[in-house]
Structure 1
Amino acid sequence: MARFLKIILLVVLAFPFLQCKKEVDQQKNNIPKNEIHYAKGFSILNHEGYSVITVSNPWPKANKSYTYILKEKNGIVPDSLKQFLVILVPIKNIVVTSTTHIPSLEMLGVEKTLVGFPNLNYISSEKVRSLIDAKKVKELGANQALNTEVLIDLQPDVIIGYGLDNNNPTLDNLLKNGLKVLLNGDWNEQSPLGKAEWIKFFGALYGKQELANSLFYKIEKDYLHTLEIAKRASSHPTILAGDMYEDKWYLPQGTSWGCQLLKEAQGNYLWAKTKGTGSLSLSFETVLEKGKNANLWITSGQFGSLQEMLDTNPHYAQFKAFQNKNVFSFSGRKGKTGGVLYYELAPNRPDIVLKDIVKILHPELLTGYKPFFFEKLK
């Protein structure tokens, strides 16, 4: 009997510790996971009643991160997080400042919540252009000098801005006036899928994270599928890119997202070994020496025909790709006010861009596919 009572006592004494360990294990298992997998510039952590978005790389070599709290109705934000900008979600209206933000709104089905944009003529989306024509989207002027008076009058739930560096006086002024400004660094991502994953940033603002995840999953799946198809290529055509602007030839550096797409499409981009994510600035003679015999040429998009290229610079005719009429451009698809659709949509849809490039480089691999963005110049 005494031994039995001793066992019972040990169990009773041990129970609180066992229960405590169970709770600790549960807490470990409940640690929110970052919902972002490819993008390097932001994270999303979902908690009960609120989410935390941290934008860590809004511009190159940024040494500061920005944290935003997305509070749901009846959600309770811990005191330790109240120092950060708190946004009530789902938001009902928005101002964005880059055309690359437009496709995310459209894919999520919330384009009608857009109330303002700087330089409306840049927008190509047909849906958003119809809203502009109906006077439902306000003109906000230049991006680096947004019309503060109009924005204060609009009182949008959020303004999505971006910075090229740490000097953003316009955005700072909007914050001082009580407006809620969030930085978006999609343009600074270095991988094609990393850029596209920023749709999850907007999904969190609208309480549509599941939809954003499913939309991105489809883009990711199609991209990776095309990647596997490209690996069947039996050749690696040499590629010349860019063209002259004023007295310099501009073309993408070797670690830019555009160069990555050319590489993943099994192309041999002639400047692929250069370091950097921006543009190279070279003399015509330097480019001619290296790129004269390239198999094909992808221009910057400023030309609509071969004759237009010749009219601008007759020396373009010295390139083999030009002579063989193997020059491609993405300038054909434009909005009705002149905005180039590629600049707006391509960062959000790398799956389409990759298909286009694979079709150009290896037409035998994608039978029946017609490029969406790119066309051969005539």
Structure 2
Amino acid sequence: MKLNLQILLFLLTILAGCSSSSALYEKNELRREGNATFKERVQIRHAKGFLITYHKNYKLLQIISPFEKQADTATYLLVPRGNARPKGYPESQVIEIPVRSLVAMSSMHIGLIGFLEAEDVLTGLGNVQYVSSQRVLDRIKAGKIKEVGKDQGLNEELLLTMQPDLVMATGTPVSKMDRFNGLKAAKIPILVNSEWVETTPLGRAEWVKLMGALLNKEDEVNRRFDKIEKEYNRLAAVGTNAATKTSVITGMHSRDAWFVPNGNSYVCRFLKDAGASYYWEKTKAMGSLPLNFETVYPVALDADFWLNVSISNVKSKQELQAKDSRYADFKAFKTGKVYGYHLRANDQGANDYWESGAVNPQDVLADLIKILHPELLPDHELIYYKQLK
């Protein structure tokens, strides 16, 4: 009996030693990996176009159907600078993180960067004309941001000289991504950003979490987005519970078509959450529905409000009527309830609605509620929308 007790104590001592060695090994491994342990992680609740999963020494980013109607998925490996490429995923591009220099091919990406006040990483733009952000404009003026061109005018030689950590492109059904083949061959990663495909305002805005993952700012982006999400949901409860639903039409006739938001579009969701009645809200498709003037006309005659009139085409009701005299027949035109999102547009054609507005949907929603149901938000002053006089 005494011998058996001694053997048992001996075995327990060995097991305890193994456990201590294992814990010490894991602790050393975590220390060796450093930031690769990724203590802070983003969780996607609204966006459908991308996924981020966290692994021991890399983040796996998947852009789902980056070109809208194609069913493929683009995969990227986000690897801490200096770490070896993870095994597997031989076709995936590697992006070293945190990204220190970024070239954005669309000014819409400026909103994602500005959300985290990370304008200092922006070193190039496809076109520097359409910029609203003062911080970015200051960097352009200081020569810290270069214009790299786009499509057939892409300055590949300049980009190769710049050697950015990442080029962020826009994925559309007509995108010709082969124009970036030379950059890929030079090991400059090209990330396809398709936030415009999202069907809800919060889904579009949640692409800031992708930027957070690229910059290793998960904790910050989570905190900031949570505030936006909470405020948006609060306002949506106000708008959807409005006593009456005011009828609206949006956009205007251009190039032989009048594009109205489909029922599954983020614009339609904005209208619904703002307490609007929208004629095409039950069309189950994403994006816009092209219609002829004659189809929209009878709906527009009785609509209470006319929203999202393009300021690039007109700057007043008089100019609007000059485009087509039939506009003057609309109820909203007669009552002066015509609005565009051009309050923050500048003379160069840039519009902050497409920058900060894309990542601050709570402000856009507040504007819409103020317009449609002013009694619900009596103290709110319009941020992006402006009435056409």
TM-score by length of 2: 0.86
1:307 and 2:315 are equivalent in the alignment = no
RMSD: 2.8
1:341 aligns with 2:352: yes
User: Deviations 1:53-100 (Å, cap 9, x if unpaired)?
Assistant: 111231213222122122224645532246532222112111011122
CA distance in 1, matches of 2:150, 2:86: 38
Name the CA distance, whole Å, in 2 between partners of 1:236 and 1:322.
19
**Closer, same or farther: CA 129–75 of 1 in aligned 2, 3 Å:** same
**Structure 2 partner of 1:270:** 279
Q: CA deviation at 1:113?
A: 1.9
Preserved CA contact (<8 Å) 1:160 1:184: yes
Distance 1:279 1:144 in 2: 27
User: Residues of 1 paired with 2:223 and 2:217: CA distance?
Assistant: 10
The verdict on how the C-alpha distance between 1:333 and 1:173 changes in structure 2, with shifts beyond 3 A counting, is same
- Residue 133 of structure 1 corresponds to 141
- Pick the aligned partner of 1:245 from 250, 254, 261: 254
- The one of 61, 65, 75 equivalent to 1:53 is 61
AA paired with 2:380?
Answer: Y
Equivalent AA in structure 2 for residue 274 of structure 1: T
1:87–1:285: structure 2 CA closer, same or farther, 3 Å change rule?
A: closer
Residues 178 and 73 from structure 1, CA distance in 2 versus in 1: closer, same or farther, beyond 3 angstroms? closer
Q: Percent identity?
A: 35
Which is worse superposed, 169-178 or 234-243? Answer: 169-178
Query: Structure 1 residue 210: deviation in Å?
Result: 1.2
In 2: Cα distance, 1:310 partner to 1:164 partner: 33
How does 1:52-131 map onto structure 2 within 5 Å? 52-73=60-81, 75=83, 77-81=85-89, 83-131=91-139
**Using the alignment, how far apart are the partners of 2:296 and 2:204 within structure 1?**
29
Choose which of 348, 352, 365 in structure 1 pairs with 2:376: 365
The alpha carbon displacement at 1:153 in A equals 1.2
**Deviating more after overlay: 300-309 vs 230-239:** 300-309
Amino acid of the residue matched to residue 288 of structure 1? Y
Stretches of structure 2 that go unaligned for 5 or more consecutive residues are 24-36
TM superposition score normalised by structure 1:
0.88
Cross-structure match for 1:180: 189
Deviation at residue 288 of structure 1 after TM alignment: 1.4
Q: Are the aligned partners of 2:115 and 2:359 in contact in 1 as well (CA < 8 Å)?
A: no
- Inter-partner Cα distance in structure 1 for 2:369 and 2:152: 37
CA distance in 1, matches of 2:121, 2:268: 35
| Displacement of 1:295 | 0.8
Residue 75 of structure 2 aligns to a residue in which SS?
Answer: strand
Give yes or no for contact 2:114–2:356 (8 Å, CA) kept in 1: no
Aligned to 1:26: none
Choose 48-57 or 108-117, whichever is displaced more: 48-57
CA contact (8 A) 2:166 2:188 kept: yes
Pick closer, same or farther for the CA change 1:232–1:217 going to 2, 3 Å: same
Instruction: Answer yes or no: is the 8 Å Cα contact 1:71–1:86 preserved in 2.
Output: yes
Q: How far apart are residue 299 of structure 1 and its match?
A: 3.3
Q: Which amino acid aligns with 2:297?
A: L
**Cα drift, residue 121 of structure 1:** 0.8
